[in-house]
Amino acid sequence: GAGVSQSPRYKVAKRGQDVALRCDPISGHVSLFWYQQALGQGPEFLTYFQNEAQLDKSGLPSDRFFAERPEGSVSTLKIQRTQQEDSAVYLCASSLRGGPYEQFFGPGTRLTVL
Amino acid sequence: RKEVEQDPGPFNVPEGATVAFNCTYSNSASQSFFWYRQDCRKEPKLLMSVYSSGNEDGRFTAQLNRASQYISLLIRDSKLSDSATYLCVVNGPRRDDMRFGAGTRLTVKP
């Protein structure tokens, strides 16, 4: 595809429900990042993959958050037993290679936990 | 202390004004610096990278001060279309990781 795509674009979940957010990076991009953006704040780093390897997951707020990228392309961010404080926009970004290079962002998934 | 801190804003300026944003970072080992722009309810997009010697792209000038650990963005001759949130981005603690500031909101008024 032309850019990074994410699905669903909007998700409403009841507290305690599990959710799965999908990211399709730009084809051939090695690096993939997940961020959480609360209203009025900048993106907060969650986790980072280089190909299928999860190199850094230090930003995941709790063990309810889990991310994977099993074949080095599509990635899924899973949140178990959602809480109201998980409500945010979840952004995925990819870059061509490992290292501090330009990141291309998807449109995000807006998660609302009731 | 947050890893990347920006001017709180918001900045409300008239068209044609010059406006400057500062950003400080805590990781002295950081090597790469960027400014991203984020329009309301849109994803961030790269505005410009920041090089050690400073760099300019049209009306936009970015500066880096490693000794004081801050970067700046100067916008000259502001346009209505410059209204957005400007995000400071610094790599670290890992080379591959990128840390975003909270952003500074700019509104340019006619």
**pLDDT of A13 over the 70 cut:** yes
Q: List Cα–Cα distances, A61 to A17, A76, A79, in angstroms.
A: 17, 16, 10
CA atoms of B83 and B104, how far apart (whole Å): 11
- Please list the residues that pair with B57 across neighbouring strands: B60
Model pLDDT, residue B53: 86
58-87 in chain B: CB under 8 A from chain A: 87
Judged by CB atoms closer than 8 Å, whether chains meet at A100 and B32 is answered as yes
**pLDDT of A32 over the 80 cut:** yes
- Tell me the chain A residues in contact with residue B4 when contact means C-beta distances shorter than 8 Å: 42
CB–CB of A1/A26 below 8 Å? Answer: yes
The DSSP string of B41-104 is TS--EEEEEE-TT-EEETTEEEEEETTTTEEEEEE-S--GGG-EEEEEEEE-SSTT-EEE---E
CB–CB of A110/A10 below 8 Å? Answer: yes
**pLDDT of B8 over the 80 cut:** no
**pLDDT of B1 over the 70 cut:** no
33-62 in chain A: CB under 8 A from chain B: 33, 35, 40-45, 48, 50, 55-56
Model pLDDT, residue A1: 53
- Please list the residues that pair with B109 across neighbouring strands: B14
- Please list the residues that pair with A10 across neighbouring strands: A110
Judged by CB atoms closer than 8 Å, whether chains meet at A91 and B34 is answered as no
Model pLDDT, residue A75: 98
Look at strands B70-75 and A104-105 and give their pairing: unpaired
- pLDDT > 90 in chain B, percent: 75
CB atoms within 10 A of CB A27: 9
Pick the closest to residue B38 from A79, A4, A77, A91 (CA basis): A91
